[in-house]
Amino acid sequence: MSMFSTGVSALNAAQQGIATAGHNIANASTPGYHRQQIIQTAATALDTGSGFIGQGVQVTTVSRQISQYLETQLLQVQAQSASVNSYLQQLQPLDDALGGTSSATNGNYNLSTAIQGFFAGVSAAANNPTDVPSRQSLISSANSMVTEFQTLNTTFEQARVGVNTQIQDSVSQINSYATQLANLNQQIILAQAGAPPGQVPNDLLDQREQLTSELNQQVGTSTVIQSDGTASVFFGSGQTLVIGNQAFSLQTAVDATDPQTLDVNYILGNTKVPIGANNITGGSLGGLLAFRDQTLDPAQSALGRVAAGLASAFNTQHELGQDIQGNAGGQFFNIPAAVAQGSTKNVGNATITTTVNNPQSLTTSDYRIDFNGTYTITRLSDNTVQASGVSAATLAGAGVDIDGLHFQLASGTATAGDTFEAQPMREIAGSLSVAPNINTSTIAVAAPITTAATLGNLGTGAISAGSVNSPNDTVAITFTGAATYNVVDTTTGATLATAQAYTSGAAISFNGWSTSISGVPAVGDAFQVSNGATTKTNGGSAAVIAPATISVLPLNANLQDKVKVTFTSATTFDVLDTTTATPLAVGVAYNPAVGAAITFNGWSAKITGNPVTNDTFNVGPTVSGTADNRNGLLLAQLEATNTMAGNTTSFEGAYSQLLSQVSNKGNELNVSSATQTQLVTQTQAAEQSISGVNLDEEAAKLMQYQQAYQAAGKYLETVNSLFASILAINP
């Protein structure tokens, strides 16, 4: 009988082989499917006196063709690739927006062009100061530039909204995958419970691996297969997502100190544990968070910094000028104060604002303000404390100046433990506007003071056009003793002060800026304030100069007083403020060979030539309706002046840094996206070479098993005929 059973076993094995090949062909395109193969072994042989006689074949199991090593590797590269691609996908709109449409002859990068257009408008107004259309063109170009800033900022805002939407999508996908994985774990346990030992539900395992792979494309996870066959999934800094048939879930929540930012929370029972963005790596969620933290926030702040720096520097110079009606220039741009976000957990009701007071010191960083009886302000880019022990009274009164920003407690009181986060630059590009009272007659193109030599002067003395002392002037502070210093405006050549008494840390204010020197200065120590940047130009480190703050307002109250310079001899002159009838200087020595730079009431001018006794020079207010364009020229010069980033770059330079930052990241991501895609392809090819279905192969197998089946049938026919021939013997 064993001959029959041998034949039947062969028929069965061939049938199973054909069924498995058919299963493979059917699932050739099923994602996550691993090709299956029957494992045949010879049946236990029959021990006879003439040796072991074969008993046919048996199929021990159907096995999946799989390399666990390649599967793990594939998961990793897929997670990485998904992360890079989602980062790149988010970055591309920014890259496009910053690049804008280029033209062949001119570097037409939209914002850059808008800034150039604005300063062309300034030049137009300076060239034709009394021409209303020229002045209107300045306002129009300013509005275009502001619109361009807003448009770019909108792109950033849209990216932020997009990131938040996708974070929510991603989190809900992750939750869904986690639940499905837990269900599959349950099904696998059940399937295995009914199966003989050692047999595994191949197709369920395939489904689970496919789910794991899809989960990994949302967030990087690690999977551990437990002894009961279930898979435990971990992510972040080791949080469990799936264990056995139980799934945990994630939730998005608005950040306590940044309402525009979504945090990812891990729900553990009744508590929500926030997971730091730096702990979530891989997958599109990892890419989104990396994009937001590494590119979007700094880039938007960098854009804000260009806007704030330009507007603030322009305002400062504009305030030093005079409009066509004879009034002092006001603020040209309206830069709204940024409000530091109080944490939603705050108990107190304090409101803290930040305003720009020195464009050159601005950074793109955010700041955290903690209150613990006193305020501590920390710069977040490098996590260093910038001010500590600041009392509420100080913050509400004088405020605190850090990195070109003025922190002010605007209202309310804080409770210990309250915390705030200031994003001073983030919103500025979006909220910048041309001040509402700016019109063709309020543009300050003229300088507020005018000089004149009296017509009856007998000598050849002349007086320069004069200028208002500006914070942009370079000023040298030189110590003539350990406790005295002189202050000279090297731009105009005028001596601002001599033999000033030094007090460590005391405020030193000239030309609209304010700084302080502390420590122990030595004779010859020299400091410089230029464009708001403070540097030590000579001497050791025993004395240091603090960063400057700039506020030209209020201008010197006597700026527009009528001042008369009278030469009492060819080599001496007196200066009299005729408006207040106050002598400003008496018997000042004059050297005709070098002339004299004089500064009074906040202006500077230079007298040259050979005046004679009784020659007089007058300095007084510029009359209204003038075509004087001195301030207009100074405003136009700001375009090429390095007023940003510690006076190292211009407005467009700062924009080009932003462009470089974003486009370099884009370039890097393009390259790594290509690399990652290549890696995924290679790994997939390797994985598929083991696990993928090849239809030719299956066709061959079909033929093989078909022939095996036919052969087994032939065998059975043979055995049958053997029996028949025996049965045919009729004794």
The residues in 542-601 that bind other proteins, with binding defined as CB under 8 A, are none
Residue list 238-257, contact with other proteins (CB under 8 A): none
Q: Which two tokens stand for residue 95?
A: 């890259």
Minimum gap (Å) between residue 317 Cβ and other proteins: 14
The one among 150, 186, 706, 716 contacting other proteins by CB under 8 A: 706
Query: 39 or 703, CB closer to other proteins?
Result: 703
Query: 91 or 552, CB closer to other proteins?
Result: 91
The one among 61, 127, 251, 474 contacting other proteins by CB under 8 A: 127
Cα 442 to the center of its chain, rounded Å: 37
How far is residue 11's CA from residue 31's CA, in Å, rounded to a whole number? 32
Query: 340 or 429, CB closer to other proteins?
Result: 429
Query: 367 or 709, CB closer to other proteins?
Result: 709
Between helix 651-691 and helix 297-319 the angle, nearest 10°, is 170
How far is residue 615's CA from residue 597's CA, in Å, rounded to a whole number? 17
Minimum gap (Å) between residue 406 Cβ and other proteins: 30
How far is residue 457's CA from residue 689's CA, in Å, rounded to a whole number? 101
Beta strands in 380-443 (DSSP E): 384-390, 400-402, 405-411, 419-422, 433-434
Query: 19 or 120, CB closer to other proteins?
Result: 120
569, 585 Cβ separation under 8 angstroms: no
The one among 28, 200, 410, 483 contacting other proteins by CB under 8 A: 28
Query: 67 or 183, CB closer to other proteins?
Result: 67
Residue list 617-656, contact with other proteins (CB under 8 A): 622-623, 625-630, 633, 636-637, 639-640, 650, 652-653, 655-656
Which residues fall within 8 angstroms of residue 397, CB to CB, at 6 or more apart?
A: none
Binding window for other proteins (CB under 8 A); candidates: 106-114, 265-273, 428-436, 538-546:
106-114
Minimum gap (Å) between residue 138 Cβ and other proteins: 13
How far is residue 247's CA from residue 249's CA, in Å, rounded to a whole number? 7
Q: Which two tokens stand for residue 573?
A: 């002159």
How far is CA 538 from each of CA 231, 514, 525, 647, rounded to the nearest angstrom? Answer: 68, 20, 5, 19
Cα 253 to the center of its chain, rounded Å: 21
Query: 385 or 452, CB closer to other proteins?
Result: 452
Minimum gap (Å) between residue 452 Cβ and other proteins: 4
Binding window for other proteins (CB under 8 A); candidates: 38-46, 119-127, 399-407, 505-513:
119-127
The one among 38, 83, 119, 184 contacting other proteins by CB under 8 A: 119
How far is residue 9's CA from residue 210's CA, in Å, rounded to a whole number? 35
Query: 247 or 598, CB closer to other proteins?
Result: 598
Residue list 62-91, contact with other proteins (CB under 8 A): 91
536, 301 Cβ separation under 8 angstroms: no
How far is residue 200's CA from residue 188's CA, in Å, rounded to a whole number? 8
Q: Which two tokens stand for residue 116?
A: 């150039």
How far is residue 307's CA from residue 112's CA, in Å, rounded to a whole number? 12
Minimum gap (Å) between residue 253 Cβ and other proteins: 33
Residue list 405-464, contact with other proteins (CB under 8 A): 446, 450-453, 455-458
131 sits near other proteins (criterion: CB under 8 A): yes
**Which of 582, 592, 583, 593 minimizes the C-alpha distance to 613?**
592
Query: 377 or 658, CB closer to other proteins?
Result: 658
485 sits near other proteins (criterion: CB under 8 A): no
Minimum gap (Å) between residue 453 Cβ and other proteins: 6
Query: 178 or 669, CB closer to other proteins?
Result: 669
How far is residue 86's CA from residue 673's CA, in Å, rounded to a whole number? 10
Minimum gap (Å) between residue 579 Cβ and other proteins: 18
329: left (phi over 0), alpha (psi -120 to 50) or beta: beta
Residue list 652-681, contact with other proteins (CB under 8 A): 652-653, 655-657, 659-660, 662-667, 669-670, 681
Which residues fall within 8 angstroms of residue 650, CB to CB, at 6 or more apart?
A: 639, 640, 641, 642, 643, 644
DSSP 680-705: HHHHHHHHHHHHS--HHHHHHHHHHH
Task: Name the residue with tokens 């200065």.
Answer: 521
Residue list 683-702, contact with other proteins (CB under 8 A): 684-686, 688-697, 699-700, 702
How far is residue 287's CA from residue 526's CA, in Å, rounded to a whole number? 50
Query: 40 or 691, CB closer to other proteins?
Result: 691
Minimum gap (Å) between residue 587 Cβ and other proteins: 22
Query: 33 or 527, CB closer to other proteins?
Result: 33
Query: 418 or 652, CB closer to other proteins?
Result: 652
Query: 356 or 659, CB closer to other proteins?
Result: 659
Q: Give the total of residues touching other proteins (CB under 8 A).
A: 90
Minimum gap (Å) between residue 660 Cβ and other proteins: 4
463, 611 Cβ separation under 8 angstroms: no
Q: Which uninterrupted H or E stretch holds 124? A: helix 110-127
Minimum gap (Å) between residue 626 Cβ and other proteins: 5
406, 549 Cβ separation under 8 angstroms: yes
Minimum gap (Å) between residue 465 Cβ and other proteins: 6
108 sits near other proteins (criterion: CB under 8 A): yes
104 sits near other proteins (criterion: CB under 8 A): yes
The one among 22, 32, 99, 162 contacting other proteins by CB under 8 A: 99
How far is residue 148's CA from residue 98's CA, in Å, rounded to a whole number? 10
Minimum gap (Å) between residue 415 Cβ and other proteins: 47
Query: 289 or 658, CB closer to other proteins?
Result: 658
Bridge partners for 234 per DSSP:
222, 240
Query: 556 or 688, CB closer to other proteins?
Result: 688
The one among 54, 107, 336, 540 contacting other proteins by CB under 8 A: 107
Phi first, then psi: what are they for 379, rounded to 5°?
-80, 125
Minimum gap (Å) between residue 637 Cβ and other proteins: 7
Task: Name the residue with tokens 């996870």.
Answer: 221
The one among 92, 222, 372, 558 contacting other proteins by CB under 8 A: 92
Cα 9 to the center of its chain, rounded Å: 69
Query: 94 or 409, CB closer to other proteins?
Result: 94
The one among 26, 96, 336, 506 contacting other proteins by CB under 8 A: 96
26 sits near other proteins (criterion: CB under 8 A): no
Phi first, then psi: what are they for 115, rounded to 5°?
-65, -45
Bridge partners for 62 per DSSP:
38
The one among 9, 81, 90, 112 contacting other proteins by CB under 8 A: 112
Q: Which two tokens stand for residue 14?
A: 């061939």
**Which of 417, 451, 703, 717 minimizes the C-alpha distance to 563?**
451
Query: 134 or 192, CB closer to other proteins?
Result: 134
Residue list 146-165, contact with other proteins (CB under 8 A): none
Minimum gap (Å) between residue 242 Cβ and other proteins: 28
Minimum gap (Å) between residue 118 Cβ and other proteins: 11
The one among 80, 81, 90, 116 contacting other proteins by CB under 8 A: 116
- Counting every residue written for the chain, the total comes to 731
Phi first, then psi: what are they for 442, rounded to 5°?
-110, 10
348, 371 Cβ separation under 8 angstroms: yes
217 sits near other proteins (criterion: CB under 8 A): no
